[in-house]
Amino acid sequence: MSPRSLALALLLCLLPAFAAHPVRARRAMVVAQEPHATDAGVAVLKAGGNAVDAAVAVGFALAVTHPTAGNLGGGGFLLLRKASGETTFLDFRERAPANATRDMYLDSSGKLTRDSLEGWRAAGVPGTVHGLALAHRKYGSKPWAELIAPAIRLARGFPVTYSVAQSLKNTKLLAKFPESRRIFQRDGKFFEPDELLVQPELGNTLDRIARFGPREFYEGEVAKKFAAAMAANGGLISLDDLKNYRTVERKPLTGAYRGYDIVTAPPPSSGGLGILQMMGMLESSNYAAHGHAAAAAIHFVAEAMRRYYADRSEYLADPDFFKVPVTGLLDKAYISSRRATIDPSRASTSDSIRQGTPPASESAETTHFSIVDAQGNAVALTYTLNGSYGNGVTVPGLGFLLNNEMDDFAAKPGEPNMFGLVQGEANAIQPGKRPLSSMTPTILLKDGKLFMVVGAPGGSRIITGVMQVILNVVDFGMNAQDAIDAPRFHHQWQPDKLSLEKGFSPDTVALLKSRGHTVDSISTVANVEAIVVQKDGWLAGGSDRRSHGKAAGY
C-alpha cells in the first residue's frame, strides 16, 4: 500500500470519530424519514402523549408527506418496549387475498409476469390502519382523532422539497395509472420545489378514519369504495378480505451480543432472526480487531451475511403457515458450526454455500421511525408499500397508494424477486398468508436499561444495514450519527456479489477482490434511523443523510 493510500485509509477509518454530531434531547425524541412527520410526533410528545401516540401520528403523517413508502395501503411491524420492561410486537403485515393462488403470477409458459410488481393484482390486503389502531387501543393515551389531525392538515397542502419534486417527476410507474398521474404528477405539469402538494381525496379518507375509527377502512364507506375499485380493475382484494384482516400480536425475538440485550422482530420478519444469527457468528470472532472498514473485517461480516441469507431462503416464512425453526437457527452450536465454515482469508462461493441443517425446533420501499418518550417508552416502527410508490395505483376517490407486497412471496420458488432474493417453497403464495419481510425494527438494552432504538427501509438490505449500525455503535464506539453516516456493504448469498457503498478506499476494494469477492458498487444499503441513550441519560438521534429525514426532540 502506498503512503498516500495508507493515509487515505487511515483518514476514512478515523472520520467517524469526529465527522458528525447527532441531534440531542433531554426528554423525548422522534427520528423519521420526513421532517413534517417528525414534527407531528414531537408535538404529540410535548402535549403529553406517549411513544405509541406519537407513532400513530407519525405513521398517518407519513402517509401524506412520504408517498414513496408512507401509507394507508401497506403494512408493517411495530416493536414496543415499555418503560416497565414489557415488550411486544405488532404484526400488521399485508395478507394475500382469499382468491390468491400459488401460481397467479406465472404466464402460460411458466414464466414470471410483472403482475406482482405493478397494478391492482400486486396488492396484498393492507394492514397499516388496523395495526396503528390496535397499538393505540392497547397502549396509547391520546384521543384517536387528535393523532390523525396533523395528517389531515398536511393533506390540505404541504410544500414539496426538491428531492420529492424530482422523485415525482422521474417516477415512470405513477404515469401508468390515471389517478396517480393526476394527483402526483398533475398530468405532466410537474411539481416544482416549494409548491404545495394538495391531496383532498386522501384528506377526506383520513377524516372519515378519524371520525368513525379504523372500521371505516375495513368495513365502512371507504372499504366499500376500495373493494368496488378492486373489482372494477381486476384486483383480488374483496370486502370480505378487508373485514377479515387482523393484526397479530407476537412475542419479540430476544438475544444478546457482547453485554447488550437485543429485542427484535420475529417471523414473518426475517430481519430479527438474521441479526441474531449473524451477530452470533461475529461474537466469538475477532473481526472487530482489524478495525472499522478494514478489508479483513468486511470480509468476515460478509461471509456471515452469505450464510444467513442461504438459511433465509429455505427456512423463513409466515409462522402461521410454516413451522419456522427459530430455536434451531439460533442454537449456539449451530451458529458455531456455520462460523467454522468461514475462511478468514478467502471468500466462499455462494454455489458452495447451502442452507445449514439446524437442530429441530423446540415445541419485507419502506420507511422507519424510532421514538422514545419522556417516560422511557420506546417504539421502533417500520412499514411499507414494498416498492417505491408501491404498485403505482392510487385508489380513485380515496387518495391512497397501494402496495405491491405480493412480490415478497416466492411467486416462483427458486427465482429472484424485485430485490434479487431467492426464496423457497416455505414462502409460496397461499390465501391469507403474510409474505416474508426484511423489516427489522430493533431495540437494544444495556444492564436492563434502554440503550438503542433502530430500524430502516431498504428491502433485502434492511437487515445488513441495521446490523452494521448496531456494530458501529457497539463494537467501534461511534455515536448515533457517525454510525449511520459510515459507509456500508451488503451480501445476500444470491446473487454472489459483495456490494459496497461509496466511501471505502480503493485499497480496501482491491484487498476484498484479492480474497475472491466479486465486488460491485451500490448507492445505498438501507436508510437507518436510530436513537441512542447516552451514558449521561441524554438521547442522541441519528437520521440517515442518504435520505432527507429529521431527528428532533425536547
Q: How far apart are CA 466 and CA 256, in angstroms?
A: 16
Q: How far apart are CA 17 and CA 10, in angstroms?
A: 12
Q: How far apart are CA 455 and CA 465, in angstroms?
A: 9
* Neighbour-count burial for 434-456, b at 16+ CB within 10 Å, e otherwise: bbbbbbbbbbbbeeeebbbbbbb
Q: Which helix (DSSP H) or strand (DSSP E) does residue 253 occupy?
A: strand 253-257
Q: Which helix (DSSP H) or strand (DSSP E) does residue 541 occupy?
A: strand 539-543
Q: Which of 366, 384, 464, 508 is catalytic?
A: 366
The verdict on whether omega for the bond into residue 431 sits within 30 degrees of 0, i.e. cis, is no
Q: Which helix (DSSP H) or strand (DSSP E) does residue 87 occupy?
A: strand 87-92
Q: Which residues 6+ apart lie within 8 Å of 252 measured at CB?
A: 79, 87, 88, 89, 263, 264, 265, 266, 272
Query: What count of Cα atoms within 13 Å lies in the side-chain half-sphere of residue 389?
Result: 25
Count CB atoms within 10 A of the CB of residue 66.
22
C-alpha distances in angstroms, 309 versus 24, 305, 525? Answer: 36, 6, 16
518 is known as an active-site residue? no
How do beta strands 519-521 and 498-500 pair?
parallel
CA dihedral over 281, 529, 380, 13, signed as positive or negative: positive
Cell numbers that stand for 150 in this block? 396533523
- 110 phi-psi bin (left φ>0, alpha ψ -120 to 50, beta other): left
Q: Which helix (DSSP H) or strand (DSSP E) does residue 289 occupy?
A: none
For residue 531, the SS3 value is strand
- The full DSSP string for 58-81 is HHHHHHHH-TTT--SSSEEEEEEE
Geometric angle at alpha carbon 522, from 517 and 525, rounded to 5° = 100
Q: Which helix (DSSP H) or strand (DSSP E) does residue 250 occupy?
A: strand 248-250
Residues taking part in catalysis? 366
